[in-house]
A and B are shown apart, each in its own frame.
Chain A
């Protein structure tokens, strides 16, 4: 009986205090925040040479992915979707490729690339394109008003404020850093 009490007490304490840390230690990138809300009917099409260029700020170091919601109506687009990341001087820094066949309509899609270490509070641009897609294979991105991160976008010849509701992702320096952040955030809310 004592063994059972010990076992269950240890098990529950493990589930509550240790298991979440183990889960946190498997996270290899963290979002800078929550995706901004967007209106379903304000969106732009991307196909052939019609791409979108987006200026944004990375709020944290070790930028390793940019994510946004993408429409792929009727899953028609099965071609390559390319995200090119540039610095402020328009030097190509990273490229991330995805296949349209892996993108469900409305998916929150992450474009992952090698981390950029000194990315905290630095402005970047990216282009999102699908050059091999025809008119019937368009993908669509949503457009929002500017935020602290989303600055302005260029579509066709026009540049406007705002852009795609994006989230940047950052690689933690160590596994311990992420565990520490999870628990300090938890206990700051609890106490």
Chain B
């Protein structure tokens, strides 16, 4: 407040930004929001360990999916729902439990349900806009970062069309990097650990923080603190059901895709190979690394060499934004990279990535072909995805090289 973060000009654009977000929240629908909210609705009914509950009661439940997120997601989503569901009445629970793909989107209250259920995402999204101000000293840079975050179509679609709960993890990693910037390693590690309680990917970055740490004590803490925090939140729920549903679920392990076969079922994983080379290079050359740049490079490597889920793209969004505010020459290359990255999952053979997002308007859109099917008529869509992904990887490689060549911030 003392910096005047709620300046008049900011409030004006903030209002417009919220209106745009509410529109996307209410009108675009990805079925994941119904699935994980249905699962999290059991918290208000007293179910603490959701993993075995869903498996044991699968036969009697209308939605059969397992809970693929970590326990903290269950408590955050379920806790929020417990607070707002009295406002929405029994209708919300009926809608969440409705397995019919047609009547669930023609429900007259769906707009309000979506706006209410996506509201926590809006709060965190706006919090990120204000958090970004803290990364800059110059007023112009602050305004740029604030406006770029609130008015870039990428994150609005990524967060609200796809009901992206990875935003919690993104917010916490951003807080962690703010503490790193302020040389508060312990606080940063706590927030990195908390971020990992929603999505495990920040843990893969720990080896680089380990290298950056100044002494043995810091090095040990840099690994122990995040792992201990994650350990605390998952141990009470540890079971075969948890391991299979969340810990080794397809989404968690997809980062480590097999790459070049070396025989007898073994393969070299490209992304991991490059991350490992980067780690050993820093270690052996005793480089004093810029953790922020390495984090961006780390994420670019993951996206370059894995069949990523569209929601993952949010992981890197605020960090790329900081990068382009600091170095405006990178703006258009980064925008092009974002467009390539977004186009790849939109071409997956999955209606929910494109056409079905609009099913609230009418289920007649089920009659329309997906971009994948349209492309199939004149070119192999998998090949086209590969072309886009290769172009992305090439661009990401050059930007990574530039970032790694930069001297310490």
Interface residues of A (CB under 8 A from B): 1, 4-5, 7-9, 11-13, 15-16, 19-20, 23-24, 26-27, 29-31, 34, 178, 181-183, 185-186, 189-190
Contacts and interface: CB of A to CB of B under 8 A. Distances in A.
B283 to A, nearest CB: 41
A24 B362 contact: yes
A67 to B, nearest CB: 10
For the complex of A and B, list the 4 residue pairs with the smallest distance between their C-beta atoms, beginning with the closest: A8-B151, A189-B108, A12-B20, A20-B361
B13 A5 contact: yes
Contacts of A12: 20, 23-24, 153, 156
Given A34-B102, A189-B108, A26 B151 contact: no
Interface in B362-398: 362-365, 367-368
B152 A1 contact: no
Contacts of B34: none
B152 A8 contact: yes
Interface of B: 13, 16, 20, 23-24, 27-28, 102, 106, 108, 110-111, 143-144, 147-148, 151-153, 156-157, 355, 358, 360-365, 367-368
A4 B152 contact: yes
Contacts of B368: 23, 26-27
11 contacts: A4-B147, A5-B16, A8-B156, A12-B156, A20-B361, A23-B365, A27-B367, A30-B364, A34-B102, A34-B363, A186-B361
Contacts of A19: 358
A184 to B, nearest CB: 11
A29 B367 contact: yes
A182 B24 contact: no
Contacts of B144: 1
Contact of B106 (A15, A29, A189): A189
Given A20-B361, A181-B362, 18 more contacts: A1-B143, A1-B144, A1-B147, A5-B151, A8-B151, A9-B16, A11-B153, A15-B157, A16-B23, A16-B24, A20-B358, A24-B365, A27-B364, A27-B365, A27-B368, A185-B362, A189-B111, A190-B108
A16 B160 CA distance: 12
A29 B366 CA distance: 12
A16 B27 contact: yes
Nearest to A178: B364
